[in-house]
DNA sequence: CGTCCACAGGAATGACGGGCGG
DNA sequence: CCGCCCGTCATTCCTGTGGACG
């Protein structure tokens, strides 16, 4: 009974004091606003490029570059959704397919997704890639339509699978009779062309669009627009707004990051029962986001990656080398009685941890004494300790003292 | 100025669990 | 149920290399 009362109070309190958010959804990054400040130029350009579709001809393939959070995806979706309504109005046969390559993960699943959107359902595994491609082509031709494919984060696909998929796609028009395909490729990486077959690249980038990062004042405008929709009036303080934009501007002008900061800052303020979002809430939010990111990453590591990390932790030096890690890793595997991976494999695991920002790895030459990676921890030791202590297998090893320190010292 | 360390990291290949069509 | 293919992880084999040492 008493408990019931407590909870009632909590909920009542929440409802009564939740004066912060008017609409939380507006700050999620999959939300596409009505207005995209500072992207008018790109919208206009992209619009002119795709406009021929309305006269039932194929539009040029387009390559869009820009860092994360510069509005590439938002602009593309915005323009295409307007194109779609126009096309309906004029009865133009056009279909769209949006595929995020990083989420989708493989050629097979990209083609499967494309097939879906022309109304062909494919089993989500089991067929050969060529088979799926053939079905897709057949289905597409039968649909008698202009087909616009958006391949978002295309660099993720190219880097680990090569450009076979793109090659097939760029050539597909030659074998289609009743349909036409245009490709919009979106990449976070400006150097993508280096990974591509020049023929593929040239046919893919009939048009190019570059998205520059936002600067602090632009980010400020974006946040301001968005905050009008998401927060009640007077909730967001000037200082908080400025700090959010400044922090995100420092980090490659990433609007997504700025919006995250703002949303979490709002949540922090809400939880504290504050009536306004202040600068301190933003600072808090920054820590919060980073902390969550790392903890989440640590928890989801595979056993061997955890062991690699634990090896670095156990060595407890300002920097260690691949060889040293491998020795300790070896001992740890012995402690657990499990098989160990090769050093080659370990090297890529280290690189993965580096990419996640958990370790920092740098190749250095020590001349006569070889060539290796210098590896440092990039996160706090206490954080590792906290997360691993609650891990069934790691907990026991967290205080492990390396046996074989100093094998060859210089 | 060549040598040679201690690895880096690419390429090819294999093992394996999941899942299909027939 | 079989044979085949998928994606993922891992191994094997390999060539490449910056620069202190001699």
CATH code of the domain containing A356: 1.10.10.10
Quote the pTM value. 0.78
State, as a whole number of angstroms, the distance between the CA of A129 and the C1' of C4.
13
A88 is near strand B: CB distance < 7 Å: no
Same domain for A188 and A110: yes
Structure-token pair, residue A158: 């190219």
Same domain for A190 and A120: yes
Domain stops at, among A262, A297, A332: A297
Same domain for A259 and A156: no
Nucleotide minimizing C1' to CA distance for residue A123:
B20
β-pairing, A146-152 vs A94-100, is: parallel
Q: How many CA atoms within 13 Å lie on the side-chain side of A20?
A: 25
State, as a whole number of angstroms, the distance between the CA of A344 and the C1' of B12.
15
Scanning residues 118 through 157 of protein chain A, those with a beta carbon under 7 Å from any atom of strand B turn out to be 123-127
Residue A382: count other Cβ atoms within 10 Å of its Cβ.
8
Same domain for A337 and A291: no
Same domain for A310 and A364: yes
Question: How many domains is chain A built from?
Answer: 3
Structural domain contains residue A242: yes
CATH number at residue A200: 3.40.50.300
Nucleotide minimizing C1' to CA distance for residue A369:
B5
CB A63 within 8 A of CB A203: no
CB A313 within 8 A of CB A381: yes
Nucleotide minimizing C1' to CA distance for residue A108:
C6
Nucleotide minimizing C1' to CA distance for residue A410:
C20
Same domain for A148 and A61: yes
CA dihedral sign, ordered A224, A229, A230, A231? positive
Q: Residue A68 and residue A84: Cα distance in Å, rounded?
A: 25
Domain residues for the domain of A305 are 301-408
Closest CA to the C1' of C9: that residue is: A345
A371 is near strand B: CB distance < 7 Å: yes
State, as a whole number of angstroms, the distance between the CA of A339 and the C1' of C5.
29
Structure-token pair, residue A47: 């619009």
Same domain for A308 and A220: no
Per-residue pLDDT of chain A (410 residues; tens, 9 = 90+): 566 777 777 777 666 665 788 888 889 878 888 888 999 999 999 999 999 999 988 899 999 989 888 999 999 999 999 999 999 999 999 988 888 887 776 777 788 888 877 777 666 666 677 777 888 888 888 888 899 999 888 877 776 666 777 777 888 888 888 888 999 999 887 777 766 777 778 888 889 999 999 999 999 999 999 999 999 888 899 999 999 999 999 988 899 999 999 999 999 998 888 888 999 999 999 999 999 999 999 998 999 999 999 999 999 999 999 999 999 999 999 999 998 999 999 999 999 999 999 999 999 999 999 999 999 999 999 999 999 998 888 999 999 988 765 544 44
State, as a whole number of angstroms, the distance between the CA of A113 and the C1' of B17.
23
């Amino acid at each position: 009974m008493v408990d019931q009362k407590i909870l009632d109070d909590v909920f009542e309190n929440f409802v009564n004091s939740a004066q912060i958010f008017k609409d939380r959804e507006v700050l999620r990054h999959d939300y596409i606003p009505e207005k995209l400040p500072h992207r008018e130029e790109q919208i206009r350009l992209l619009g002119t490029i795709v406009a021929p579709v309305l006269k039932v001809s194929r539009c040029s393939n387009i390559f869009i570059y820009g860092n994360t959070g510069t509005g590439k995806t938002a602009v593309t979706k915005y323009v295409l959704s307007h194109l779609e309504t126009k096309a309906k109005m004029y009865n133009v046969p056009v279909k769209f397919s949006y595929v995020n390559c990083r989420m989708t993960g493989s050629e097979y699943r990209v083609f499967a997704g494309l097939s879906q959107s022309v109304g062909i359902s494919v089993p989500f595994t089991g067929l050969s890639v060529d088979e799926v491609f053939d079905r897709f082509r057949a289905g597409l031709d039968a649909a008698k339509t202009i087909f616009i494919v958006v391949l978002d984060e295309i660099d993720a696909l190219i880097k680990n699978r090569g450009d076979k998929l793109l090659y097939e796609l760029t050539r597909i028009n030659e074998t289609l009779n009743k349909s036409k395909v245009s490709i919009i490729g979106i990449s976070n990486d400006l150097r993508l062309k280096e990974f591509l077959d020049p023929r593929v690249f040239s046919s893919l980038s009939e048009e190019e669009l570059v998205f520059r990062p936002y600067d602090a004042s632009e980010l400020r405008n974006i946040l301001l627009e968005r905050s009008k929709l998401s927060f009640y009036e007077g909730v967001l303080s000037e200082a908080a707004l400025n700090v959010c934009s400044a922090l995100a501007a420092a980090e490659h002008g990433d609007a997504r990051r700025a919006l995250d900061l703002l949303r979490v800052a709002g949540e922090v303020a809400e939880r504290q029962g504050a009536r306004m979002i202040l600068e301190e809430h933003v600072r808090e939010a920054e820590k919060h986001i980073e902390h969550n990111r790392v903890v989440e990453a640590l928890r989801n590591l595979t056993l061997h990656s955890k062991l690699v990390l634990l090896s670095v932790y156990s060595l407890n030096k300002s920097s260690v080398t691949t060889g040293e890690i491998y020795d300790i890793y070896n001992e740890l595997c012995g402690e657990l009685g499990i098989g160990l991976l090769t050093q080659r494999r370990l090297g890529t695991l280290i690189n993965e941890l580096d990419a996640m920002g958990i370790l920092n790895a740098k190749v250095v030459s020590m001349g006569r004494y070889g060539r290796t990676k210098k590896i440092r921890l990039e996160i706090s030791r206490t954080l590792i300790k906290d997360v691993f202590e609650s891990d069934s297998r790691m907990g026991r090893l967290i205080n492990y003292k390396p046996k074989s320190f100093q094998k060859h010292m210089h």
